[in-house]
Structure 1
Amino acid sequence: MIPAVQNSNGRHLVAALPGHRLSPVFDRLFEDFLAPASQSWTGFPSSLWEDEGAIHFEMDLPGIHEADLEITVHEDHLVVKGERKAPAEKHQNDQRVYGQFEQRVKLIAAVDLAQIEASLHQGVLHVKLPKSQAAKPFRVTLQSTGNCQSQMGMVNQDLTSGNQ
């Protein structure tokens, strides 16, 4: 059985589920209070990938100028700091986020710090982090040593001659 809300005449106005009669009231009451938390900023969209020689990082930074960016490598993290400055004029409805930001990205390989390149083109930051020699794949070449059995015979001969 679903309870109903009654008016002063005893007439059923609307069916109500327990706990739901005040829900719209509380929703409206807390809507403005919780709005800043629900619109919290999660960071600018970014991508990280690697190829054989480098790690690449891209980040969408619309409305941010080069002078307002700082890019550093600290230990094994790429750190992008910056600020998106609010316009001087006030807007009635502005849903954009302004202020300082910092995004840290864990690097997936050791990089050559002296060779890092960064550019900002049409609101997209691109950072190329060349891998250090230690991080690059190194192919070990096997050297042919001849017939395996003849070498085993030499090892056995050395062992038997050493035991005498």
Structure 2
Amino acid sequence: MTDQGEVAVVRWPGQTPSAQDGPAGPAGLLAAYHLQTQAEKGEAVAGVDALPDRYRAEIADPRAAFVDDVVLLAMSGDTAVGCLVVTAPVDKGSEVKRLWTDPAFRGRGIAAELIGAALVHAAESGAGTVRLSVWKWRSGAIALYERLGFTVTESWDERDQLVCMERAV
């Protein structure tokens, strides 16, 4: 069982091999994220093998899927309990995506810590803004983003029910 003590945010992959790879790392978190999102969209699937190809690719090989991006993990011991992806800056802007916290660890500020680390990384990488998109039914996430200074902006994505937000760094 995972110790629910202190949680540290680290960059993945790190300098040394650890349990951050495999099901206790980003692949497991990405699988939970994508399965939950499909269910919330009313398109629940029985397992990872039934997810759309692009999501299965992220889960099968996160290193390849996010080769140009930075993956941040919230670690409790050797177990990843939260993740977030920050894209490399394009036109002075980065994007945050795939924010997920293991349900057993929610309510402890992990998502806010991950976003804070993402904002620092984006600023250090030369980004002037950070943007993200979130499904409108994820009201708790939207409230968190607003508390952290994100505001709703014009959509850059044609998918219905997607809220686009950004903030300066």
TM-score by length of 2: 0.19
Q: Whose radius of gyration is greater, 1 or 2?
A: 1
